[in-house]
Chains A and B, each alone.
Chain A
Amino acid sequence: MNTLTVSVVTPDGPVLEDTFEMVSCKAESGELGILPGHIPLVAPLSISSVRLKGPNPQRSAVSGGFLEVRPDKVTILAQSAELPDEIDLERARAAKERAERRLQAKQDEIDFRRAEYALKRALNRIEVVEEK
């Protein structure tokens, strides 16, 4: 079976580098599945989980990222990316509640947008952990 080298890189250092058979992720324009031999591609990712399939499947919660595909290599560049066991579930839940409170309070627009992003990130993290 053909494989892909996948590396997930953040400003704080590489998070993951391994070979997988398939990458499945959510780009801003919709779900994307990448198999070995894909044409070179660049796409921004939404705040979502990246699922890496193969003998040792892996998931990662990604925010502020994009995807670069080469025929045998996939690089995911993200402002933050975590593996399920790195996620602090308590903290994510607290962040979710905080963001929800802020959204209820309906302050000015910038705060609103920021809270919305925070909520998305928190939900994404919780989802990645609980998917197990």
Chain B
Amino acid sequence: MASLRDIKTRITSTQKTKQITKAMHMVSAAKLSKAEEFAKSFDPYSNKIKEVVASIAGSGQDAEHPMLQSREVKKTAYFVITSDRGLAGAFNSGVLREVYRTIQNRHKSQDEYTVIAVGRMGRDFFKKRGIPVLKEITGLSDQPNFSDIKELTAETVDLFIDGEIDELVIFYNHFVSAISQQVTSNKLLPLTDLSENTSGNSSMYEYEPNQQEILNVLLPQYAESLIFGALLDSKASEHAARMTAMKNATDNADELIGDLSLQYNRARQAAITQEITEIVSGAAALE
């Protein structure tokens, strides 16, 4: 049996760990509510841009734009959103496993795909496995501004327009609720499902100068807004995942401390009993 001192040391160290995980849990909870707020303030923009794009796409005339056309896929880009730091449960590993499996299943040669990585965890994962990382961005703040990510999204969309890539698939954690996040993959480019969500009242705009010009401006912005939306979604998921992970860690620490205290008390009692026995038997020997 471990000595009293050993058990005491373990209890203290577990308590210290618990303090840290508990603090991280609370920090993540605060960040989560902020991230949710942030995602909400993005909603008006994304809804509006979706509405306008859908109304143009659904206006009957065949609006032509390279971003709307499916072409033969020679090179696929995977846009993978992960976090910079770990300690968030299965947040990163879930996404990365999914991407890795998809790549293994779909592609035979490295020329057929490339990865655009957001977040240190994702970048390191792909680099370690020798998967080409075309672009990367790390060190994003917890509440990213659109301007932080604008360059990356614009460059990504340009890659498609210039024909460097023929397909863009995005992988991220979709925020379902504070306790549930879902790994989601979405085919972002070419834009194919535009006309599905056309609402009836909006297809009578005047276009200045014409539809084509507007599509040229609007579609890249629309695609960029989709990427930004996924990023905000993923940030909220990250905080939620970390919150849950830290909550579990705190609970486990509590349990461990309980077990150890029990052990400690037993050992203490055994020591006292032994001492009494010694004294009593010593006194008995004197009589």
Which residue numbers of A lie inside 8 Å of B, CB to CB? 7, 9-14, 27-29, 32, 39-44, 64, 66, 68, 75, 77, 79-80
Contact = CB atoms under 8 A, between A and B. Distances in A.
B283 interface: no
Contacts of A43: 207-209, 214
A66 B228 CA distance: 18
Interface in B203-254: 204-209, 213-214, 217-218, 221, 224-225, 228
Given A77-B45, A79-B224, 17 more contacts: A10-B146, A11-B45, A11-B146, A12-B42, A13-B41, A13-B44, A40-B204, A41-B206, A43-B207, A44-B213, A66-B52, A66-B214, A66-B217, A66-B221, A75-B48, A77-B48, A79-B221
B214 A80 contact: no
26 contacts: A9-B48, A11-B42, A11-B46, A11-B225, A12-B145, A13-B38, A13-B42, A13-B45, A27-B208, A28-B217, A39-B206, A40-B206, A41-B205, A41-B207, A41-B208, A42-B52, A42-B205, A43-B214, A44-B214, A66-B214, A66-B217, A77-B221, A79-B146, A79-B150, A79-B221, A80-B147
Nearest to B229: A11
A75 B224 CA distance: 19
Contacts of B204: 40
B49 interface: yes
Contacts of B213: 28-29, 44
A42 B214 contact: yes
A10 B206 CA distance: 23
A42 B214 CA distance: 8
Nearest to B150: A79
Interface in B40-86: 41-42, 44-46, 48-49, 52, 56
A29 B210 CA distance: 10
Given A64-B221, A79-B221, A12 B209 contact: no
How many of chain B's residues touch chain A, expressed as a range?
20 to 34
Which 6 A-B pairs have CB atoms at the shortest separation, nearest pair first? Answer: A13-B41, A11-B146, A43-B208, A44-B217, A29-B209, A41-B206
A27 B217 CA distance: 12
Looking at chain A's contact residues, the main secondary structure is strand
Given A42-B207, A79-B146, A80-B147, A10 B217 contact: no
Contacts of B147: 80
Interface in B11-51: 38, 41-42, 44-46, 48-49
A75 B44 CA distance: 10
Nearest to A39: B206
B191 to A, nearest CB: 17
A68 B221 contact: no
B41 A66 contact: no
A9 B217 contact: no
A7 B48 CA distance: 11
A10 B214 CA distance: 18
Contacts of B44: 7, 9, 13-14
Nearest to A17: B44
Given A28-B213, A28-B217, A66-B217, A12 B208 contact: no
Given A28-B213, A44-B218, A68 B52 contact: yes
A9 B45 contact: yes
Contacts of B221: 64, 66, 77, 79
A43 B52 CA distance: 11
